[in-house]
């Protein structure tokens, strides 16, 4: 399904390419870009990858080498530094916590957003328009500013320090609801729902057998974005979690507190904590790109 | 459920009573189905509204209540103090310092970010080979957590022997004191924000550019407009709604900046003289450093008002521009 949407974009792009070439033939304005264009893009890509490479360079030497200036080739000390990282912060705990929090949040955001999106896009009910406007308006509300009462609530519930405190506030997002509503409105024909309803399916069956499959491409993208956003989130986990039970960004900050003067260890930790998302990016980066571009056109 | 009911109904017989039964059952299932149709939508949207009410709206509104009390992190709610917390906070130089820092970092990050993102998008919009590769390339920083970005750039911007200072010295300039000079620290933190978000926004602009009808360009070409003229007279004006969208999201996020600035040094208070302490960092310092939830809430509520005012201003400007567009 995701392939299909990518295919649509590719088809559109191909059409443009064709048009461009035609125009190129007529006026000569749109030629294949020259090496200036590629040079500029190359510089941009270099700028976006270089800090990561630098982080690996620093993380692969020991501090005595670094104090004399960082060599431009990696050293052989990365694993020793990584071992120090594992000793000084609960890295594996943080990694598994990040995996748990991000996975659970992404799964529940997708489920609840699709459910709500299905209702907003396809079911008729009193007040639906007003409620949808409300959802859109809440996207702009800086809920982060409610941290103090949120902390008070979590303390009352006895959840401070536990992963629940991080998971529960993120279980459903306004953005997710809006995104799925937009998508299902076009992607799911009303006739299909009517057909299964006439066959006697209940609402939840209609959602499960027709709505959910139709939502799959958008749901996959929503899951990706939620996963990345939750994984990289720092402010609230930093406030509510204990140093003994952190997520990866919180653990990184602990690493900085423990080894501030020794960049080789801090940056080895930065590399270690980034590897999981880089792997995800290698697999699903294409979907992230098309997700951003589709969201931009619709949003 | 109605399906299974009907499927399992035995084939109708000539006898009267079973048929009555099935009619009754049908009526019952119709009633259920009616409720199903009526209630299901509300049931499906309720998780969002309940959760938003509990974890979003309630805390935000309750912040105002907390801000009117003396309230300690450990001791809990104290007596009602009216606007005392606001009076205290508004009299603090650190508060106004944080306001200034927040706006400075925000401007240094949002303005160049939008300009560079549009430039990158324009280049990505060319008839490139290996299109997907370039698009993915600009998005790499997006998957690096802000804290990791902060730590990496903290090293690059190190005052002594940091790469950027070495380069400055290499071309014969003076090294910059990134961690003590206020404006320099803002530039460094803004660089981190730009690093992470420029590529992301470039893709948003790219999508908007591709939605511009190509015949507009054809008309411009026929009128003799060159590439550069086309870019400024066609592309940029047609991107206006997208620019406003990006600016508004950047405003809401940028005024709450915390992560990168928090890890710019070890203490996390924004430097010895609070050179780069943002409002969100100030909230953290008051609430969890000094354990004064009342004052922290007062600052949070003030920041909320600032964001609302700026968002409203954005909205009014947007509408004005849209109206002008309609009149032309």
Domains of chain B: 2-67 (no CATH), 84-327 (1.10.3720.10)
Give the pLDDT confidence score for residue A275 in this predicted structure.
95
Could you give the CA distance from residue A260 to residue A258 in angstroms, rounded to a whole number?
A: 6
Q: Measured between beta carbons, which residues in chain B are less than 8 angstroms from residue A146? A: 55-56, 58-60, 62-63, 300
Chain A interface disruption, residue of B121, B144, B256, B318, most A CBs within 10 A: B144
**Whole-number mean pLDDT of chain A?**
85
Nearest chain A Cα distance for residue B316, angstroms: 15
| pLDDT (0 to 100) of residue A215 | 92
| pLDDT of residue A253 exceeding 90 | yes
CB contacts, 8 Å: A70 with chain B: 163
B196-240: pLDDT as tens digits: 999 999 999 999 999 888 888 889 989 888 888 888 888 888 888
By the 8 A CB rule, do A266 and A255 touch? yes
Output the pLDDT for position B117.
Answer: 95
pLDDT for A95-115, tens place per residue? 999 999 999 999 999 999 999
pLDDT-derived band at B12 (thresholds 50, 70, 90) equals: very low
Which of A40, A130, A138, A149 has the highest number of chain B CBs within 10 A, making it the mutation to test binding with B? A149
Spatial neighbors of B139 by CB under 8 A, at least 6 apart, are A281, A285, A288, A289, A292, B199, B200, B203
Q: Which residues of B touch A45 (CB under 8 A)?
A: 134, 137-138, 140
pLDDT (0 to 100) of residue B21: 59
Predicted confidence (pLDDT) at residue A10 exceeds the cutoff of 60: no
Q: Output the six-digit token pair for B152.
A: 């990496």
| pLDDT tens, position by position, B92-151 | 999 999 999 999 999 999 889 999 999 999 999 988 888 899 999 999 999 999 999 999
Nearest of A123, A224, A234, A209 to residue A176 by alpha carbon? A224
Task: Specify the pTM.
Answer: 0.86
Spatial contact of A262 and B160, defined as CB atoms under 8 Å apart: no
> Can you tell me the ipTM of this complex?
0.85
Q: Which member of A51, A70, A146 has the closest CB to residue B152? A: A51
Structural domains of chain A sorted by starting position, each given as residue range(s) with its CATH number in brackets: 90-259 (1.10.3720.10)
**Strands B69-72 and B76-80, how do they pair?**
antiparallel
Query: Which residues of B fall within a CB distance of 8 Å from A41?
Result: 120, 123-124, 128, 134, 137
> Rounded to whole angstroms, how far apart are CA atoms B79 and A90?
41
Contact between chains at B143 and A201 (C-beta distance less than 8 A): no
**Yes or no, beta carbons of B138 and A52 under 8 Å apart:** no
Q: Determine whether the interchain pair A123/B256 forms a contact, defined as Cβ–Cβ distance below 8 Å.
A: no
CA distance B112 to B108: 7
Instruction: Check whether A228 has a pLDDT greater than 80.
Output: yes
Are A147 and B300 in contact (CB < 8 Å)? yes
């Amino acid at each position: 399904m995701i392939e299909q949407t990518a295919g649509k974009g590719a088809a559109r792009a191909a059409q443009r390419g064709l048009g461009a070439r035609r125009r190129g033939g007529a006026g000569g304005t749109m030629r294949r870009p020259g090496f200036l264009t590629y040079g500029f893009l190359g510089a941009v890509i270099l700028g976006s990858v270089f800090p990561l490479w630098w982080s690996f360079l620093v993380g692969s030497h020991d501090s005595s080498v670094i104090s004399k200036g960082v060599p431009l080739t990696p050293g052989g000390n990365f694993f020793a530094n990584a071992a120090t990282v594992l000793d000084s912060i609960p890295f594996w705990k943080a990694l598994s916590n990040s995996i748990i929090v991000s996975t659970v949040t992404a799964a529940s955001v997708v489920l609840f957003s699709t459910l709500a999106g299905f209702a907003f896009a396809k079911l008729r009910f009193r007040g639906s328009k007003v409620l949808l406007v409300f959802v859109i308006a809440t996207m702009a509300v800086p809920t982060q500013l409610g941290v103090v009462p949120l902390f008070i609530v979590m303390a009352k519930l006895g959840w401070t320090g536990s992963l629940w405190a991080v998971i529960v506030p993120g279980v459903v997002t306004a953005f997710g609801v809006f995104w799925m509503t937009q998508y299902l409105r076009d992607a799911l024909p009303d006739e299909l729902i009517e057909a299964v309803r006439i066959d006697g399916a209940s609402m939840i069956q209609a959602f499960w057998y027709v709505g959910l499959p139709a939502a799959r491409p958008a749901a996959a993208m929503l899951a990706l974005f939620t996963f990345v956003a939750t994984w990289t989130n720092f402010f609230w986990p930093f406030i509510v979690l204990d140093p003994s039970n952190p997520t990866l960004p919180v653990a990184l900050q602990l690493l900085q507190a423990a080894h501030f003067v020794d960049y080789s260890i801090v940056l080895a930790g930065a590399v270690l904590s980034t590897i999981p998302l880089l792997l995800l990016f290698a697999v699903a980066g294409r979907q992230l790109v098309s997700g951003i571009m589709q969201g931009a056109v619709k949003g | 459920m109605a399906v299974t009911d009907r499927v399992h109904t035995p084939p109708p017989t000539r006898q009267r009573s079973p048929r009555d039964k099935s009619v009754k059952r049908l009526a019952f299932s119709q009633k259920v189905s009616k409720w199903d149709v009526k209630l299901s939508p509300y049931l499906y949207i309720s998780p969002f509204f309940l959760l938003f009410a509990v974890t979003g709206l309630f805390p935000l509104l309750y912040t105002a209540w907390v801000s009117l009390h003396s309230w300690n992190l450990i001791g809990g709610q104290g007596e009602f103090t009216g606007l005392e917390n606001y009076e205290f906070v508004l009299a603090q130089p650190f508060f106004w310092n944080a306001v200034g820092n927040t706006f400075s970092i925000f401007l240094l990050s949002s303005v160049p970010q939008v300009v560079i993102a549009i430039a990158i998008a324009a280049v990505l919009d060319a008839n490139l080979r290996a299109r997907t590769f370039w698009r993915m390339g600009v998005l790499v920083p997006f998957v690096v957590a802000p804290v990791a970005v902060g730590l990496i750039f903290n090293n690059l911007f190190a005052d002594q022997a940091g790469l950027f200072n070495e380069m400055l010295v290499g071309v014969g300039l003076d090294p910059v004191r990134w961690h003590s000079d206020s404006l320099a620290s803002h530039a460094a933190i803004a660089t981190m924000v730009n690093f992470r978000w420029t590529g992301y926004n470039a893709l948003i602009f790219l999508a908007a550019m591709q939605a511009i009808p190509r015949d507009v360009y054809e008309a411009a070409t026929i009128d003799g407009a060159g590439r550069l003229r086309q870019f400024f007279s066609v592309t940029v004006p047609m991107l206006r709604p997208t620019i406003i969208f990006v600016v508004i999201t950047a405003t809401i996020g940028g005024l709450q900046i915390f992560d990168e600035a928090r890890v710019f040094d070890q203490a996390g208070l924004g430097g010895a003289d609070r050179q780069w302490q943002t409002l969100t960092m100030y909230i953290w310092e008051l609430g969890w450093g000094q354990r004064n939830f009342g004052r922290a809430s007062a600052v949070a509520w003030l920041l909320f008002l600032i964001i609302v005012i700026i968002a409203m201003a954005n909205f009014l400007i947007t509408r004005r521009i849209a109206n002008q567009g309609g009149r032309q």
